[in-house]
Every structure is written in C-alpha cells, then in structure tokens.
C-alpha cells in the first residue's frame, strides 16, 4: 500500500520531501498547483508517480495541522504571503570554544529545563577546540501575528502509523540525533538576526518558538499530539549559550 509510512526512507527521500516544502506556497493557491509541485518533484527525484496521492495527502496534513498560540490557534496555511523565508542561511562568529565549556553550560541548565535531556546532551559532546564562524541553514522561519517561528522538516521514519510519532517517541528521536543541540544553535542565530531587524525586539514577545515537524506522523485531526515537537527555550538559556559561543 502506498502511504507516507511506506514511502522510502533515507537521505534521498528526505531531500525530496524538503524540496517540496522549500517550494510550497503556504498562502494557498489552487490544489492543482500543489499537485503539480508534487508531480514535478517526484519526477526530478526519480520516484514513481504512484506516490502522488500519498505525498499530496501528507502535505495537506502538514499545512492543516493547527498549533496553539497566545491569542489563537493557527496552521501553516494561515501564513500570509511574503511572511516566510526558506533555507535561511546564517553565519555568526565563534570565539574559542571547547566541548567542556558547552558541557558546563548544559549541565548548569539540566535541572531547570525539561524539554530535552541537557545532561545527556552535555555528556555526548566531544569535539576539538574551535574558533572561527558557525554557518547553517534554517529550513523555514515564518511570522504570524507578530511572532517568529523556526521550522525544521523531519522525514524520519519512526513507524507505520501516527501513534509511532507521539511525544515520547519524538523526544527520544530528538535526543538520539542531537536535534536539540541543532535547534539551540538555530535559536541563538535567529535571536541575533531578529534583534537586528525587528523594531523594539524582545525575545519573550517576538519569538514564537521552535517547531520540529516530523512529516510522516502529522495529523490535522490529532493536532500537536503527534508528529510535532515544540519548544520555546528560556531566554536566559539562549543568552548564556550566546555568551559561551
């Protein structure tokens, strides 16, 4: 059966799925336009057209799933035209940093921050002392109702049903793949970026949080319960990590 759960795994499939959301018009447009994008991407990446309906259904689930916010709920389909950036590249200067410096930062916060296991993350860090520049790409950043959100698309295959993408499974995947370290670095970069470009910027007011969206497990009926890992790191942690870096 051709479903998003049986769609091929691996890096090739991940690049294909990322490309769809990189090119997708979240502000709407005819369904035929979205279907054409899927058809073209399948062809460009060498996948059979038999996957057309299941990929289109997955895209519908992702853009229609609603997220809670301070004032109201919203979905990605509610983003206004021109209010998102894909593949946002960043550079920031890195002072002399060692793994022990970062480990100490994360250990200090491990008892005050429960979204991810910072103690395990600290113990896993082993790298040569570094100095220079940090460069990366954020899959997408968007603005909705004055708040800015950081999105990362994840094509990980965790199982053959929505229930395999519950919160405990997502948290385990985040920690195993060190995605938590990834989004903390992204948040440092985005916080600096927004502070230079948004008038009267305040992290607590303008930063909406991090959304790691596990594409195969999202369901508009189940909402954020499945396929959605969400976090809003404390501003004090981001400031301390910024100072470390």
The pair phi, psi for residue 209, each rounded to 5°, is: 125, -175
Q: Give CA angle at 209 (107, 212), nearest 5°.
A: 85
Burial category of 36 from C-beta neighbours within 10 Å (exposed 0-12, middle 13-18, buried 19 and up): exposed
Burial category of 70 from C-beta neighbours within 10 Å (exposed 0-12, middle 13-18, buried 19 and up): exposed
Closest-CA residue to 77 (of 147, 150, 144): 144
Single out the catalytic residue among 78, 152, 200, 231.
Answer: 152
215/67 Cα distance (integer angstroms) = 15
Q: Which residues contact 223 (CB under 8 A, 6 or more apart)?
A: 65, 66
Classified as helix, coil or strand, 178 is: coil
β pairing state of 147-154 and 207-214: parallel
CB atoms within 10 A of CB 87: 11
- In the residue annotation, 25 being an active-site residue is answered as no
Give the tokens for residue 84.
């998102």
β pairing state of 130-144 and 147-154: antiparallel
Annotated catalytic sites, by residue? 152
């Amino acid at each position: 059966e051709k479903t998003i759960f049986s769609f091929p795994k691996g890096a090739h499939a991940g690049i294909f799925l990322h490309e769809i959301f990189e090119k997708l018009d979240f502000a709407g447009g005819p369904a035929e336009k979205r279907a054409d994008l899927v058809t073209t991407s399948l062809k460009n990446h060498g996948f059979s057209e038999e996957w057309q309906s299941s990929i289109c259904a997955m895209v519908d689930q992702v853009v229609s799933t609603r997220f809670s916010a301070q004032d109201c709920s919203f979905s990605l389909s509610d983003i206004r035209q021109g209010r998102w950036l894909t593949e946002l590249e960043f550079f920031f200067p890195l002072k002399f940093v060692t793994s022990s410096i970062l480990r100490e930062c994360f250990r200090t916060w491990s008892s005050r921050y429960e979204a991810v296991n910072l103690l395990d993350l600290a113990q896993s860090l082993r790298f040569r002392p570094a100095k220079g520049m940090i460069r990366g790409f954020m899959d997408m950043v968007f603005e909705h109702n004055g708040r800015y959100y950081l999105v990362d698309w994840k094509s990980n295959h965790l199982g053959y049903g929505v229930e395999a993408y519950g919160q405990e499974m997502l948290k385990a995947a985040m920690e195993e793949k060190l995605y938590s370290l990834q989004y903390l670095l992204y948040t440092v970069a985005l916080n600096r970026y927004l502070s230079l470009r948004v008038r009267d910027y305040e992290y607590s007011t303008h930063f909406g949080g991090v959304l790691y969206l596990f594409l195969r497990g999202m369901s508009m009926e189940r909402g954020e319960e499945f396929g959605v890992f969400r976090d809003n790191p404390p501003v004090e942690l981001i400031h301390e990590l910024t100072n470390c870096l």
